[in-house]
Amino acid sequence: MRKPVIAGNWKMNMLPEEAVTLVRGIWQEIEGHDKVEAVVCPPFVDIPAVSELIRNAGMAVGLGAQNMHWEESGAYTGEVSPLMLKKFEVTHVIIGHSERRQFFGETDQGVNRKVKAALAHGFIPIMCCGETLKQREAGETESVVVNQVKCGLFELDTEGARSVIIAYEPIWAIGTGKAATADDADEVCGIIREVVSRDFGDEIAQAVRIQYGGSVTPDNISELMSRENVDGALVGGASLKPDVFAGIVRYS
Ligand code: PGA
């Protein structure tokens, strides 16, 4: 059985004090709800405060970063290394979000290096993939997503592949209020599972968790989660309010 994982991607929002209030509020509403793995992904500068809160209050909440460099240290101005994140007991790292690909030039090769570095340092990568509207309309969804997933997981060993979370996030659904239908999300998540099966075997493919992301809300989460291949959600806008995010975590 795959344990569903709901992760909140806060993007470039929340000052440290707001971050602490948000996590406290979320925890109040989801404490004891252990059917789902909940993860919050604040901006880097919020991580120390959120980490301290989670540890001191004993919250069963994962702490994710939104990006990470693949090297441990060096001349990489503006970057944050795995060792730095490790210090703050970060558990997950979002890698290759479409906004990083679109605005910061991230490539499939860079995503692969980061996924490998994340695994080597004991993080769970949340590796993102997804097509643009133009690609969907041109019937290229499958080829785009298959290529991104194959490249992102390139040269991983089976145990590494097993622990990766893959987030299918169609770019046209992100921040638009136009979520994919549950059937469309399930179809692409199923295609991703087939890719994993071909490259790493069926046992790994059955274990790997695949999230859907893009305008997920408390109103559409149940239907998305009812589909066979959808094992959770990566949530942007709706992760910034405690009651709304908690409503997604408690979907069932
Ligand atoms: P959204 O963002 O939920 O605001 O659409 C999702 C994401 O970018 O991860």
DSSP string over 79-127: ---HHHHHHTT--EEEES-HHHHHHH---HHHHHHHHHHHHHTT-EEEE
Ligand 1 closest atom vs CA 234: 9
Q: Please report the atom of ligand 1 found closest to the CA of residue 174.
A: 5
- For residues 242 and 59, what is the distance between their CA atoms, to the nearest angstrom? 15
pLDDT of res. 57: 97
Active site residue 106: no
Task: Decide: 66 in ligand 1 pocket, CB within 6 A.
Answer: no
As a whole number of angstroms, the distance between CA 26 and CA 86 comes to: 23
Determine which residue's CA is closest to atom 6 belonging to ligand 1.
Answer: 236
If DSSP codes are grouped into helix, strand and coil, which group holds residue 227?
coil
- Please, what sign has the CA dihedral across residues 30, 31, 34, 38? positive
The confidence score (pLDDT) of residue 175 equals 97
Can you tell me the distance from the alpha carbon of 25 to that of 12, in angstroms, rounded to the nearest whole number?
A: 19
Q: Is 41 in the pocket of ligand 1 (CB under 6 A)?
A: no
- For the Cβ of 9 lying below 6 angstroms from any atom of ligand 1, the answer is yes
SS3 65: strand
CATH of 5-249, one of 3.10.20.30, 3.40.50.300, 3.20.20.70, 3.20.20.80: 3.20.20.70
Phi, psi of 104 (to 5 degrees): -125, 15
pTM (predicted TM-score)? 0.98
CA distances from 167 to 13, 30, 111, 210, 212 (A): 21, 22, 13, 6, 6
User: What are the sequence ranges of the domains in the chain?
Assistant: 5-249
**C-alpha 197 to ligand 1 mean position (Å):** 27
Q: How many Å apart are CA 171 and CA 134, to the nearest integer?
A: 10
Q: What pLDDT was estimated at residue 107? A: 98
Instruction: Report the pLDDT value the prediction gives residue 111, as an integer from 0 to 100.
Output: 98
pLDDT given for residue 252 in this prediction: 72
pLDDT of the chain, 252 residues: tens digit per residue: 899 999 999 999 999 999 999 999 999 999 999 999 999 999 999 999 999 999 999 999 999 999 999 999 999 999 999 999 999 999 999 999 999 999 999 999 999 999 999 999 999 999 999 999 999 999 999 999 999 999 999 999 999 999 999 999 999 999 999 999 999 999 999 999 999 999 999 999 999 999 999 999 999 999 999 999 999 999 999 999 999 999 999 997
Cβ within 8 Å of residue 86, ≥6 positions away: 121, 122
The answer to whether 244 and 8 are in contact (CB under 8 A) is: no
Residues 124 and 163: beta-carbon distance below 8 Å:
yes
- Per-residue pLDDT, 1: 84
Residue whose tokens read 């340092």 = 121
Protein residue closest via CA to atom 9 of ligand 1:
236
C-alpha distances out from residue 24 to 69, 88, 211, 244, Å = 29, 18, 24, 14
How close is the Cα of 215 to the center of ligand 1, in Å? Answer: 6
The predicted structure's pLDDT at residue 218: 98
